[in-house]
A and B are shown apart, each in its own frame.
Chain A
């Protein structure tokens, strides 16, 4: 990524949800920004094969109000940017609508596909985000769409690496996930939302060294980092944001934070139902630790009350 396109550093973020400040207790004091998923502010109807998304006005208002307290970034779930038959136009429409009401510093979605077709040509929803093959054909789909997203709102567009469980994904040129991410960000100019927990899951599940692999990543493309904790299912570490960040993920963060020159935010992700179970004390401890890493390695030099480039 060109340094000129890197966004202003924001700091420590958390998944926005209604009553987030009350849920976090003192942990809210460590926050610099919220990450909002427009999808969760919406209702979806599916009738006669037509999918329609519409904001729930009260949730949209609450999200926009949150922007009066802290800066916002957008993290979508439903773009399905990798669908060969076209991305989810309904999701793009709600993103447009949100942007008309509220600006955001950057936006991101998952490097995945959710929508495809049956063998008869009807729409088929995969029900879980599925990985792209590490191929030229996948890049042919992704690169122009990432460029289009980058230009659409005049703020950086990031793609997030996925946890996947399918073995030996098809590839060209012997590409693995890192090589594919490098090609994608280099060709498109889009940034990377590096989910360290997702990458840790892949490393554990497929038996490779996460840190060694990340040493090959174009670290200048990393704009945002996600942290989370999940659970083991049938021998697989799964991407479910219900727990504290595991220690190996903290260790990777300590390695990468000082080496990613355009890192602009670190977000601790927790699913809404898990927030009360974890409780404010645990959440505060987690956010305090994120804050320590940010302050140690990433805090920009403030000049006249505004951020200056590191």
Chain B
């Protein structure tokens, strides 16, 4: 199926350029191995240097970043301008586009931040924001599809202080040795609250 191969080649080149800002030699080799006509190979070979190809990739990247900035506001705020740029680059280069929808992209990004962040507050904020998204999604279900989402997220300072500082653009509180759990759930008002001692026992089990 030559059209399928042509689409694979084009999609692969765009995914590489949009995600990594370059087309690795290994990707070029893979594309050259596809069953394409000489004309198609020539067109693809010249495509990478064209401004139109770069603009296509930049638009794809811009759309993805826009979705993340919209859906992961707490985490992007916690990252700050420089660190968020670096985190976007790291994420986009390792996670190619999987969806045009805002939530699936944001869930993958927040998982990535939670796993790669070295600062405890940042990891907690990403986990918290991810859990909030899942709780809001579950709350929108109706009838037979309705499920309850509940999760515990642990902060390294009282969550109200961490989130309050974030929302007021103030320095985050000191990291403490103690853990401060919150419950995030589709079944509670505003989707979260600090965990009670009963909740915390449940989470340990």
Contact = CB atoms under 8 A, between A and B. Distances in A.
B46 to A, nearest CB: 8
A164 B96 CA distance: 21
Contact of B11 (A78, A126, A205, A238): A126
Contacts of A43: 101, 103, 137, 140
> How big is chain A's contact interface, by range?
35 or more
A128 B98 contact: no
B59 A124 contact: no
Q: Residue among B4, B11, B31 with the most chain A CB within 10 A?
A: B11
A57 to B, nearest CB: 5
Contact of B52 (A84, A117, A205): A205
Given A167-B53, A170-B39, 4 more contacts: A77-B100, A83-B7, A126-B10, A165-B55
Interface of A: 39, 42-46, 51, 54, 56-58, 77-78, 83-85, 113-114, 116-119, 124-128, 130, 133, 135, 137-138, 140-141, 164-168, 170, 205, 233-236, 238
A202 to B, nearest CB: 11
B8 A118 contact: yes
A238 B141 CA distance: 36
A127 B55 contact: no
B103 to A, nearest CB: 6
Do most interface residues of chain B lie in helix, strand or loop, or is the interface mixed? helix
Interface of B: 1-4, 6-8, 10-12, 14-15, 18, 30-31, 33-34, 39-40, 43, 47, 50-56, 58-60, 63-64, 96-101, 103-104, 137, 140-143, 145
A170 to B, nearest CB: 6
Contacts of B51: 165, 234-236
Nearest to A129: B100
Contact of A119 (B1, B3, B34): B34
B169 to A, nearest CB: 23
A186 to B, nearest CB: 20
A125 B96 contact: yes
A140 B3 CA distance: 10
Contacts of B55: 165, 233-234, 236, 238
B52 A124 contact: no
Contacts of B31: 119
List of 9 A-B pairs having minimum Cβ-Cβ separation, nearest first: A127-B97, A84-B4, A165-B52, A127-B60, A44-B101, A116-B11, A116-B7, A84-B3, A137-B3
A233 B59 contact: yes
Contacts of A168: 43
A166 B53 contact: yes
